[in-house]
Amino acid sequence: MSEDLTKYLPGFDYANLSDEQKEAVTEVFRILSERHSTLDLTPLRIKFDLEEKKYYDLEDSYFYKECQKAGIVVNTQGYIKQGLGEDAIHYPLVDFAGDIRIFDKLFNDYKETVAKLLDISIHNEDK
């Protein structure tokens, strides 16, 4: 019985909407947004292939670039979303792996850079 049923009700193909279906769904989402301003329709817009998730590019991170230069391994473990609707951006949750001496050197180099910019001296005994 279930095989026959799936032949007639195969499920909805969210990713392959006709232009008319996209217009209808977009209109429904518009009405919902007007009536429920705090409702985040982003997951549905993505499911219906009306919008793509936006991700923060790690290459835009100064900290990430400095870790890469220092040889510190940066692993993306998942994402956290900030914002609602089309403004939502998924930021990576990362962890770091490396020899503690490399972390110390990275931190001390950063302190020295800041000290030079501020024209102050620092006592750095970890060298």
**Where are the domains positioned within the chain?**
1-52, 54-127
73 three-class SS: strand
Average pLDDT of span 1-17: 64
Give the pLDDT confidence of 75-103 residue by residue, as tens digits: 999 999 898 766 789 999 999 999 999 99
Residue 85: per-residue pLDDT: 66
Report the alpha-carbon distance of residue 71 to residue 65 in Å, rounded: 10
Mean pLDDT of the chain: 85
Note the pTM of the prediction, 2 decimals. 0.58
Residue 51: per-residue pLDDT: 76
- Decide: 90 and 58 in contact? Cβ < 8 Å: no
